[in-house]
Structure 1
Amino acid sequence: MVSWERDAWQRDGFESHEGVVGVLLADGSEPGPVFFDLGSGSNFHQSIDWWCYDGTMRRPMATSMRGRCACGWRGEKTYTICWEKVRGDDDPDAYDTSGPYGDWAAHMDEVAGRALLLPEDLSGLLAQVRARLDCLLLEEDQPVIVLKAADELEEIVASVAPTAVRLLTRGQEEPAPEIAQAFGMTEKAARARLIHYEYLDR
Protein backbone atom coordinates (compact mmCIF):
# COMPACT_ATOMS: atom_id res chain seq x y z
CA MET A 1 0.00 0.00 0.00
CA VAL A 2 1.41 3.38 -1.00
CA SER A 3 0.07 6.65 0.42
CA TRP A 4 0.58 10.23 -0.59
CA GLU A 5 -0.73 13.70 0.14
CA ARG A 6 0.23 16.35 -2.37
CA ASP A 7 -0.67 19.44 -0.41
CA ALA A 8 0.53 18.79 3.15
CA TRP A 9 1.44 21.66 5.49
CA GLN A 10 4.28 21.66 8.00
CA ARG A 11 5.73 24.11 10.51
CA ASP A 12 9.42 24.04 11.39
CA GLY A 13 9.99 22.29 14.70
CA PHE A 14 6.55 20.66 14.68
CA GLU A 15 6.84 18.33 11.70
CA SER A 16 4.71 15.55 13.20
CA HIS A 17 1.72 17.92 13.25
CA GLU A 18 1.34 17.71 9.48
CA GLY A 19 -1.77 19.44 8.22
CA VAL A 20 -3.91 18.94 5.12
CA VAL A 21 -7.25 19.99 3.73
CA GLY A 22 -9.81 17.57 5.15
CA VAL A 23 -13.23 16.94 3.63
CA LEU A 24 -16.75 16.12 4.77
CA LEU A 25 -19.52 14.34 2.88
CA ALA A 26 -23.10 15.63 2.67
CA ASP A 27 -24.07 13.67 5.81
CA GLY A 28 -21.29 15.35 7.79
CA SER A 29 -19.06 12.26 7.94
CA GLU A 30 -15.36 12.20 7.14
CA PRO A 31 -14.53 9.67 4.40
CA GLY A 32 -11.61 7.28 4.47
CA PRO A 33 -8.77 7.34 1.94
CA VAL A 34 -9.48 7.08 -1.78
CA PHE A 35 -7.89 4.01 -3.39
CA PHE A 36 -6.38 3.90 -6.87
CA ASP A 37 -5.55 0.77 -8.82
CA LEU A 38 -2.73 1.83 -11.12
CA GLY A 39 -2.29 -1.61 -12.60
CA SER A 40 0.83 -2.41 -10.57
CA GLY A 41 -0.19 -5.84 -9.34
CA SER A 42 -1.19 -6.05 -5.69
CA ASN A 43 -0.05 -2.49 -4.93
CA PHE A 44 -2.87 -0.02 -4.45
CA HIS A 45 -2.27 3.68 -3.98
CA GLN A 46 -4.34 5.67 -1.53
CA SER A 47 -4.76 9.37 -0.98
CA ILE A 48 -6.61 11.83 1.24
CA ASP A 49 -6.01 14.78 -1.08
CA TRP A 50 -9.26 16.77 -0.95
CA TRP A 51 -9.66 17.01 -4.73
CA CYS A 52 -9.87 13.20 -5.04
CA TYR A 53 -13.34 13.27 -3.43
CA ASP A 54 -15.05 14.62 -6.54
CA GLY A 55 -17.62 11.87 -7.03
CA THR A 56 -16.08 10.50 -10.22
CA MET A 57 -15.18 6.85 -10.78
CA ARG A 58 -17.30 5.80 -7.77
CA ARG A 59 -15.36 8.01 -5.40
CA PRO A 60 -17.22 9.75 -2.54
CA MET A 61 -18.24 13.34 -3.24
CA ALA A 62 -17.21 15.86 -0.62
CA THR A 63 -19.41 18.88 -0.06
CA SER A 64 -17.15 20.87 2.24
CA MET A 65 -13.57 21.16 3.44
CA ARG A 66 -11.89 21.97 6.75
CA GLY A 67 -8.44 21.96 8.34
CA ARG A 68 -7.09 18.59 9.44
CA CYS A 69 -3.98 17.71 11.49
CA ALA A 70 -2.09 14.47 12.02
CA CYS A 71 -2.65 14.81 15.78
CA GLY A 72 -6.40 14.25 15.31
CA TRP A 73 -7.44 17.91 15.40
CA ARG A 74 -10.19 18.95 12.99
CA GLY A 75 -11.20 22.51 12.22
CA GLU A 76 -14.60 23.54 13.55
CA LYS A 77 -15.29 25.80 10.58
CA THR A 78 -16.19 24.22 7.23
CA TYR A 79 -15.95 25.68 3.73
CA THR A 80 -18.24 24.68 0.87
CA ILE A 81 -16.52 23.14 -2.15
CA CYS A 82 -17.67 24.41 -5.55
CA TRP A 83 -16.79 21.53 -7.85
CA GLU A 84 -17.78 23.49 -10.94
CA LYS A 85 -15.03 25.98 -10.15
CA VAL A 86 -12.53 23.22 -9.36
CA ARG A 87 -13.22 21.51 -12.67
CA GLY A 88 -13.36 24.81 -14.52
CA ASP A 89 -9.88 25.80 -13.37
CA ASP A 90 -8.64 22.29 -14.23
CA ASP A 91 -6.05 22.75 -11.48
CA PRO A 92 -6.95 21.85 -7.87
CA ASP A 93 -3.98 23.88 -6.62
CA ALA A 94 -5.66 27.01 -7.98
CA TYR A 95 -8.67 26.52 -5.69
CA ASP A 96 -8.78 28.67 -2.57
CA THR A 97 -7.93 26.54 0.49
CA SER A 98 -6.74 29.45 2.60
CA GLY A 99 -9.60 28.98 5.06
CA PRO A 100 -8.63 25.46 6.18
CA TYR A 101 -4.96 26.46 6.15
CA GLY A 102 -5.60 29.49 8.34
CA ASP A 103 -7.51 27.36 10.85
CA TRP A 104 -4.68 24.79 10.93
CA ALA A 105 -2.12 27.62 11.38
CA ALA A 106 -4.13 28.90 14.36
CA HIS A 107 -4.15 25.35 15.76
CA MET A 108 -0.38 25.24 15.36
CA ASP A 109 -0.04 28.54 17.23
CA GLU A 110 -1.81 26.83 20.13
CA VAL A 111 0.45 23.75 19.85
CA ALA A 112 3.54 25.97 19.86
CA GLY A 113 2.18 27.94 22.81
CA ARG A 114 1.85 24.77 24.90
CA ALA A 115 5.28 23.37 23.96
CA LEU A 116 8.08 23.51 26.51
CA LEU A 117 10.56 26.35 26.10
CA LEU A 118 14.20 25.59 26.78
CA PRO A 119 16.07 27.70 29.34
CA GLU A 120 17.40 30.80 27.63
CA ASP A 121 21.08 29.95 28.17
CA LEU A 122 20.67 26.42 26.72
CA SER A 123 18.61 27.67 23.81
CA GLY A 124 21.27 30.27 23.08
CA LEU A 125 24.09 27.71 23.13
CA LEU A 126 22.23 25.40 20.75
CA ALA A 127 21.52 28.30 18.39
CA GLN A 128 25.22 29.21 18.39
CA VAL A 129 26.23 25.63 17.60
CA ARG A 130 23.74 25.43 14.73
CA ALA A 131 24.84 28.79 13.31
CA ARG A 132 28.53 27.84 13.52
CA LEU A 133 27.95 24.51 11.79
CA ASP A 134 25.91 26.21 9.06
CA CYS A 135 28.84 28.57 8.43
CA LEU A 136 31.31 25.67 8.26
CA LEU A 137 29.17 23.94 5.65
CA LEU A 138 29.69 26.93 3.38
CA GLU A 139 33.47 26.51 3.52
CA GLU A 140 34.74 24.04 0.94
CA ASP A 141 37.29 22.26 3.16
CA GLN A 142 35.29 22.15 6.39
CA PRO A 143 32.58 19.43 6.04
CA VAL A 144 34.79 16.98 7.92
CA ILE A 145 34.73 19.34 10.92
CA VAL A 146 30.93 19.44 10.74
CA LEU A 147 30.79 15.64 10.77
CA LYS A 148 33.25 15.45 13.67
CA ALA A 149 31.11 17.92 15.62
CA ALA A 150 27.97 15.92 14.77
CA ASP A 151 29.67 12.78 16.06
CA GLU A 152 30.49 14.49 19.38
CA LEU A 153 26.94 15.82 19.65
CA GLU A 154 25.61 12.29 19.15
CA GLU A 155 27.90 11.08 21.96
CA ILE A 156 26.51 13.76 24.27
CA VAL A 157 22.92 12.79 23.43
CA ALA A 158 23.66 9.10 23.92
CA SER A 159 25.16 9.80 27.36
CA VAL A 160 22.25 11.83 28.74
CA ALA A 161 19.07 11.04 26.81
CA PRO A 162 18.48 7.45 28.02
CA THR A 163 18.71 8.53 31.67
CA ALA A 164 16.39 11.46 31.02
CA VAL A 165 13.81 9.15 29.41
CA ARG A 166 13.90 6.74 32.32
CA LEU A 167 13.52 9.54 34.85
CA LEU A 168 10.71 11.08 32.85
CA THR A 169 8.66 7.96 32.18
CA ARG A 170 9.58 5.94 35.31
CA GLY A 171 8.65 2.65 33.71
CA GLN A 172 5.41 3.77 32.06
CA GLU A 173 4.71 1.79 28.89
CA GLU A 174 3.10 4.79 27.20
CA PRO A 175 4.35 8.38 27.53
CA ALA A 176 1.94 10.75 29.22
CA PRO A 177 0.13 13.14 26.85
CA GLU A 178 1.87 15.99 28.69
CA ILE A 179 5.21 14.77 27.31
CA ALA A 180 3.97 14.95 23.73
CA GLN A 181 2.57 18.41 24.45
CA ALA A 182 5.90 19.57 25.89
CA PHE A 183 7.72 18.26 22.80
CA GLY A 184 5.19 19.89 20.46
CA MET A 185 4.65 16.47 18.84
CA THR A 186 1.83 14.07 18.28
CA GLU A 187 1.70 11.29 20.87
CA LYS A 188 2.78 8.75 18.25
CA ALA A 189 5.84 10.82 17.33
CA ALA A 190 6.72 11.45 20.98
CA ARG A 191 6.48 7.72 21.71
CA ALA A 192 8.87 6.93 18.85
CA ARG A 193 11.28 9.64 19.97
CA LEU A 194 11.38 8.36 23.55
CA ILE A 195 11.98 4.79 22.40
CA HIS A 196 14.82 6.02 20.20
CA TYR A 197 16.45 7.91 23.08
CA GLU A 198 15.88 5.16 25.64
CA TYR A 199 18.06 2.62 23.84
CA LEU A 200 20.90 4.83 22.64
CA ASP A 201 23.24 3.51 25.34
CA ARG A 202 22.64 -0.18 24.57
Structure 2
Amino acid sequence: MYGERSGWQRDGFESHEGTVGVLLADGSEPGPVFFDLGSGATFHESSDWWHYDGTFHRPTAVTMRGRCACGWRGTKTYPIDWETVREDDDPDAYDTTGPYAEWKAHLDEVAGRAVALPEDLTALLGQVRERLDRLWLEEDPACGYAAVLRACGELEAIVAETGPEAARALAYEQEESMPAVAEALGMTEKAARARLLHYEYLGR
Protein backbone atom coordinates (compact mmCIF):
# COMPACT_ATOMS: atom_id res chain seq x y z
CA MET A 1 0.00 0.00 0.00
CA TYR A 2 1.46 3.32 -1.07
CA GLY A 3 0.29 6.81 -0.25
CA GLU A 4 -3.18 7.70 -1.47
CA ARG A 5 -4.51 11.24 -1.73
CA SER A 6 -7.99 9.97 -0.92
CA GLY A 7 -8.86 8.22 2.34
CA TRP A 8 -9.22 4.50 2.90
CA GLN A 9 -12.75 3.13 2.97
CA ARG A 10 -14.51 -0.20 3.25
CA ASP A 11 -17.97 -0.91 1.82
CA GLY A 12 -20.59 -0.68 4.55
CA PHE A 13 -18.30 1.25 6.91
CA GLU A 14 -17.84 4.51 5.02
CA SER A 15 -18.00 6.70 8.13
CA HIS A 16 -14.84 4.99 9.39
CA GLU A 17 -12.67 6.53 6.70
CA GLY A 18 -8.98 6.02 7.36
CA THR A 19 -6.04 8.27 6.57
CA VAL A 20 -2.40 8.68 7.43
CA GLY A 21 -1.94 10.68 10.61
CA VAL A 22 1.29 12.35 11.72
CA LEU A 23 3.08 13.16 14.95
CA LEU A 24 5.57 15.92 15.73
CA ALA A 25 8.87 15.43 17.51
CA ASP A 26 7.24 16.01 20.92
CA GLY A 27 4.71 13.25 20.24
CA SER A 28 1.76 15.58 19.70
CA GLU A 29 -0.67 15.44 16.80
CA PRO A 30 -0.73 18.76 14.93
CA GLY A 31 -3.88 20.54 13.87
CA PRO A 32 -4.65 21.24 10.21
CA VAL A 33 -2.37 23.45 8.18
CA PHE A 34 -3.80 26.51 6.47
CA PHE A 35 -3.14 27.88 3.00
CA ASP A 36 -3.69 31.47 1.97
CA LEU A 37 -5.22 31.27 -1.50
CA GLY A 38 -4.89 34.99 -2.03
CA SER A 39 -8.62 35.64 -1.89
CA GLY A 40 -9.01 37.86 1.12
CA ALA A 41 -10.08 36.10 4.29
CA THR A 42 -10.50 32.74 2.56
CA PHE A 43 -8.12 30.01 3.76
CA HIS A 44 -7.88 26.39 2.75
CA GLU A 45 -7.04 23.85 5.45
CA SER A 46 -5.66 20.36 5.14
CA SER A 47 -4.60 17.46 7.36
CA ASP A 48 -2.91 15.51 4.56
CA TRP A 49 0.30 14.06 5.95
CA TRP A 50 2.59 15.37 3.18
CA HIS A 51 1.82 18.99 4.05
CA TYR A 52 3.61 18.66 7.40
CA ASP A 53 7.05 18.94 5.81
CA GLY A 54 8.26 22.06 7.59
CA THR A 55 8.11 24.33 4.55
CA PHE A 56 6.45 27.76 4.70
CA HIS A 57 6.59 27.63 8.51
CA ARG A 58 4.43 24.51 8.66
CA PRO A 59 4.98 21.96 11.47
CA THR A 60 7.45 19.19 10.67
CA ALA A 61 6.12 15.69 11.24
CA VAL A 62 8.62 13.01 12.19
CA THR A 63 6.42 9.91 12.22
CA MET A 64 3.15 8.66 10.72
CA ARG A 65 0.45 6.32 11.99
CA GLY A 66 -2.99 5.07 11.07
CA ARG A 67 -5.95 7.35 11.78
CA CYS A 68 -9.71 6.88 11.55
CA ALA A 69 -12.58 9.37 11.35
CA CYS A 70 -14.07 7.79 14.49
CA GLY A 71 -11.15 9.08 16.57
CA TRP A 72 -9.10 5.88 16.62
CA ARG A 73 -5.34 6.26 16.31
CA GLY A 74 -2.80 3.56 15.58
CA THR A 75 -0.39 2.54 18.34
CA LYS A 76 2.60 2.00 16.08
CA THR A 77 4.49 4.86 14.47
CA TYR A 78 6.58 4.89 11.31
CA PRO A 79 9.35 7.39 10.54
CA ILE A 80 8.91 9.79 7.63
CA ASP A 81 11.89 10.22 5.32
CA TRP A 82 11.25 13.68 3.93
CA GLU A 83 14.25 13.48 1.60
CA THR A 84 12.64 10.53 -0.14
CA VAL A 85 9.30 12.32 -0.30
CA ARG A 86 10.89 15.39 -1.87
CA GLU A 87 12.99 13.36 -4.29
CA ASP A 88 9.97 11.49 -5.59
CA ASP A 89 7.86 14.67 -5.54
CA ASP A 90 4.83 12.41 -5.31
CA PRO A 91 3.19 11.48 -1.98
CA ASP A 92 1.44 8.58 -3.72
CA ALA A 93 4.88 6.98 -4.20
CA TYR A 94 5.64 6.91 -0.48
CA ASP A 95 5.06 3.65 1.36
CA THR A 96 2.20 3.90 3.90
CA THR A 97 1.75 0.14 4.30
CA GLY A 98 2.16 0.27 8.06
CA PRO A 99 -0.54 2.86 8.86
CA TYR A 100 -2.90 1.21 6.38
CA ALA A 101 -2.42 -2.25 7.90
CA GLU A 102 -3.25 -0.92 11.37
CA TRP A 103 -6.35 0.89 10.11
CA LYS A 104 -7.43 -2.30 8.32
CA ALA A 105 -7.08 -4.26 11.58
CA HIS A 106 -9.14 -1.56 13.32
CA LEU A 107 -11.85 -1.93 10.65
CA ASP A 108 -11.82 -5.69 11.16
CA GLU A 109 -12.60 -5.06 14.83
CA VAL A 110 -15.35 -2.57 13.94
CA ALA A 111 -16.90 -5.08 11.54
CA GLY A 112 -16.63 -7.82 14.16
CA ARG A 113 -18.65 -5.79 16.67
CA ALA A 114 -21.34 -4.76 14.16
CA VAL A 115 -24.58 -6.72 13.88
CA ALA A 116 -24.09 -9.47 11.32
CA LEU A 117 -26.65 -9.86 8.56
CA PRO A 118 -28.12 -13.34 8.11
CA GLU A 119 -26.14 -15.32 5.57
CA ASP A 120 -29.11 -15.81 3.26
CA LEU A 121 -29.85 -12.05 3.24
CA THR A 122 -26.20 -11.24 2.56
CA ALA A 123 -26.27 -13.68 -0.35
CA LEU A 124 -29.49 -12.19 -1.72
CA LEU A 125 -28.14 -8.65 -1.57
CA GLY A 126 -25.02 -9.77 -3.38
CA GLN A 127 -27.12 -11.44 -6.06
CA VAL A 128 -29.21 -8.29 -6.53
CA ARG A 129 -26.10 -6.16 -6.97
CA GLU A 130 -24.54 -8.64 -9.38
CA ARG A 131 -27.78 -8.95 -11.39
CA LEU A 132 -28.13 -5.19 -11.72
CA ASP A 133 -24.54 -4.99 -12.95
CA ARG A 134 -25.32 -7.55 -15.66
CA LEU A 135 -28.42 -5.69 -16.83
CA TRP A 136 -26.21 -3.05 -18.46
CA LEU A 137 -24.66 -5.69 -20.70
CA GLU A 138 -27.60 -7.97 -21.44
CA GLU A 139 -30.21 -5.47 -22.53
CA ASP A 140 -30.48 -2.84 -25.22
CA PRO A 141 -28.98 0.24 -23.50
CA ALA A 142 -32.28 2.07 -23.25
CA CYS A 143 -34.08 -1.02 -21.92
CA GLY A 144 -31.22 -1.75 -19.55
CA TYR A 145 -31.36 1.72 -18.03
CA ALA A 146 -35.13 1.47 -17.63
CA ALA A 147 -34.85 -1.98 -16.05
CA VAL A 148 -32.26 -0.76 -13.56
CA LEU A 149 -34.43 2.21 -12.60
CA ARG A 150 -37.46 -0.01 -12.16
CA ALA A 151 -35.45 -2.30 -9.92
CA CYS A 152 -34.25 0.69 -7.93
CA GLY A 153 -37.84 1.78 -7.49
CA GLU A 154 -38.76 -1.65 -6.10
CA LEU A 155 -35.83 -1.50 -3.68
CA GLU A 156 -36.77 2.00 -2.57
CA ALA A 157 -40.33 0.83 -1.89
CA ILE A 158 -39.01 -1.96 0.34
CA VAL A 159 -36.77 0.47 2.21
CA ALA A 160 -39.57 3.02 2.63
CA GLU A 161 -41.81 0.32 4.08
CA THR A 162 -39.37 -1.26 6.52
CA GLY A 163 -36.72 1.38 7.26
CA PRO A 164 -38.77 3.94 9.23
CA GLU A 165 -40.27 1.35 11.58
CA ALA A 166 -36.87 -0.16 12.30
CA ALA A 167 -35.28 3.26 12.85
CA ARG A 168 -38.00 4.42 15.24
CA ALA A 169 -37.92 1.18 17.20
CA LEU A 170 -34.14 1.25 17.49
CA ALA A 171 -34.10 4.91 18.50
CA TYR A 172 -36.71 4.22 21.19
CA GLU A 173 -35.05 1.12 22.61
CA GLN A 174 -31.55 2.60 22.58
CA GLU A 175 -32.42 6.20 23.45
CA GLU A 176 -29.72 6.45 26.11
CA SER A 177 -27.15 4.29 24.34
CA MET A 178 -26.15 5.85 21.04
CA PRO A 179 -22.64 4.36 21.31
CA ALA A 180 -24.23 0.90 21.31
CA VAL A 181 -26.34 1.79 18.26
CA ALA A 182 -23.30 3.11 16.43
CA GLU A 183 -21.32 -0.03 17.25
CA ALA A 184 -24.14 -2.28 16.04
CA LEU A 185 -24.37 -0.36 12.77
CA GLY A 186 -20.60 -0.23 12.31
CA MET A 187 -20.69 3.57 12.19
CA THR A 188 -19.47 6.59 14.07
CA GLU A 189 -22.05 8.06 16.46
CA LYS A 190 -22.54 11.07 14.19
CA ALA A 191 -23.23 8.84 11.19
CA ALA A 192 -25.53 6.59 13.24
CA ARG A 193 -27.66 9.54 14.36
CA ALA A 194 -27.90 10.73 10.76
CA ARG A 195 -28.88 7.24 9.61
CA LEU A 196 -31.64 6.95 12.22
CA LEU A 197 -33.05 10.38 11.37
CA HIS A 198 -32.90 9.64 7.65
CA TYR A 199 -34.94 6.47 7.91
CA GLU A 200 -37.18 7.61 10.74
CA TYR A 201 -38.61 10.39 8.58
CA LEU A 202 -38.29 8.69 5.22
CA GLY A 203 -41.39 9.23 3.12
CA ARG A 204 -42.91 11.85 5.40
Per the normalisation by structure 2, the TM-score is 0.89
- CA 1:40–1:16: 2 relative to 1, 3 Å: same
Q: For residue 90 of structure 1, what is the aligned residue in structure 2?
A: 89
Which runs of no fewer than 5 residues in structure 1 stay unpaired?
none
Q: For residue 55 of structure 2, what is the aligned residue in structure 1?
A: 56
- Residue deviations 1:83-129, cap 9 Å, x none? 22222222222222111111111111111222211112222222222
Contact 1:24/1:31, CA 8 A, preserved across alignment: yes
Which runs of no fewer than 5 residues in structure 2 stay unpaired?
none
What SS does the aligned partner of 1:23 have? strand
What SS does the aligned partner of 2:5 have? coil
Which piece of structure 1 moves more, 165-174 or 113-122?
165-174
Question: What is the CA RMSD across the aligned residues, in angstroms?
Answer: 1.8
What SS does the aligned partner of 1:104 have? helix
State the AA in 1 paired with 2:192. A
Which piece of structure 1 moves more, 92-101 or 67-76?
92-101
- CA 1:86–1:174: 2 relative to 1, 3 Å: farther
Q: For residue 14 of structure 2, what is the aligned residue in structure 1?
A: 15
Per the TM alignment, residue 10 of structure 1 is displaced from its structure 2 partner at its CA by 1.2
Which piece of structure 1 moves more, 40-49 or 150-159?
40-49
Q: For residue 32 of structure 1, what is the aligned residue in structure 2?
A: 31
Q: For residue 170 of structure 1, what is the aligned residue in structure 2?
A: 172
Per the normalisation by structure 1, the TM-score is 0.90
Contact 1:175/1:191, CA 8 A, preserved across alignment: no
Find the aligned partners of 1:70 and 1:167 in 2 and give their Cα distance: 27
What SS does the aligned partner of 2:125 have? helix
Percent of aligned pairs sharing the same letter? 71
Q: For residue 156 of structure 2, what is the aligned residue in structure 1?
A: 154
Q: Which has the higher contact order (CA 8 A, sep 6+)?
A: 2
Q: For residue 100 of structure 1, what is the aligned residue in structure 2?
A: 99
Q: For residue 197 of structure 1, what is the aligned residue in structure 2?
A: 199
Q: For residue 47 of structure 1, what is the aligned residue in structure 2?
A: 46
Per the TM alignment, residue 150 of structure 1 is displaced from its structure 2 partner at its CA by 0.9
Find the aligned partners of 1:60 and 1:185 in 2 and give their Cα distance: 32
- Residue deviations 1:33-66, cap 9 Å, x none? 1111112333311111111001111111111110
Per the TM alignment, residue 175 of structure 1 is displaced from its structure 2 partner at its CA by 5.8
State the AA in 2 paired with 1:37. D
- Residue deviations 1:148-194, cap 9 Å, x none? 12112112111111111111111766762122122211111111111
- CA 1:187–1:195: 2 relative to 1, 3 Å: same
State the AA in 2 paired with 1:143. Y
Find the aligned partners of 1:194 and 1:71 in 2 and give their Cα distance: 18
Which residues of 2 match residues 63-142 of structure 1 at below 5 A?
63-138=62-137, 139=139, 140=141, 141-142=143-144
